[in-house]
Amino acid sequence: MKKGVTAIEAAEMIPDGAVLMIGGFMGVGSPHRIIEALVELGRKNLTIIANDTAKPNYGIGRLIRTGAVAKAIVSHIGLNPETQKGMIDGSIQVELVPQGTLAERIRAGGFGLGGVLTKTGLGTIAADGQKVIDIDGEQWLYAPPLRADFALIHADRADYSGNLAYQLTATNFNPVMAMAGETVMVEPREISPVGVIPPDNVSTSGILVDYIILRGAA
């Protein structure tokens, strides 16, 4: 059985300066209660690894609005002008990574691989400062793996052993982030007895999950 905690109890384990992976796609499939608890506790200097920073004051955008984020490693910031402003004025360091490369860097971190070789970005400003590797006369960009102190994810369903099932857009980044966090905290829509989730529907095994955020608990 996994330990059940409130969102505040989960956030209290996360110190200032932590590196966080946060699931979701434009705020859909993000762990909103954990995010709100981090805001309530006033956490600062966080590094956020995510697909995006959602929208102003929504999802990860809540952390942007409250000045909690020092660095964001994301695939785009197009829906959040507050992140754009922070990047321009230097208050937020933003590393933009092509979406597929970002997902594969996280996967590499989770699977213990040394990184990713990709042609995406070759010959563009995305390659500035990157290591280029020659293989049989072809050039590849080397992208290092990504890991985090904490992976904060959302699932549609969890059972009491921590097995997780996802739905629709929430499947994009949550499962791969569950592999790449030293501590994994999940905020499920529903918690079910063991055996209710069909084995074929389990996308994340409970062995990867450390804490389950209890339903209806702040």
CB atoms within 10 A of CB 174: 28
Residue 132 CA to residue 197 CA, distance in Å, equals 45
Q: Determine the Cα angle at 12 with ends 174 and 50, to 5°.
A: 25
pLDDT digits (tens, 9 = 90+) for 119-129: 998 988 878 88
Q: Confirm if 2 and 194 have CB atoms less than 8 A apart.
A: no
Neighbours of 114 (CB within 10 A): 9
Q: 192 falls in which pLDDT band (50, 70, 90)?
A: very high
Q: Which tokens belong to 102?
A: 């970002």
CA–CA distance, 104 with 147 (Å, rounded to integer)? 12
Dihedral angle over CA of 102, 103, 108, 114, nearest 10: -20
pLDDT digits (tens, 9 = 90+) for 40-50: 999 999 999 99
Q: Read off the pLDDT band of 218 (50, 70, 90).
A: low
Residue type, 110: G
Lowest mean pLDDT among 31-35, 151-155, 194-198: 194-198
Token pair for 61? 């955008």
Tokens, residue 51: 């697909």
How remote is the C-alpha of 185 from its chain's centroid?
A: 11
- List the one residue out of 185, 207, 209, 182 whose CA is nearest residue 32: 185
Q: Classify 167 as helix, strand or coil.
A: coil
pTM of the model: 0.94
DSSP state, residue 205: -
- Assess whether pLDDT exceeds 80 at residue 216: no
- Look at residue 119 in the predicted model and tell me its pLDDT: 94
Q: Taking residues 25-37, report their average pLDDT.
A: 95
Domains in the chain, please, with CATH?
A: 3-113+145-213 (3.40.1080.10)
CA dihedral for 213, 214, 216, 218, sign (positive or negative): negative
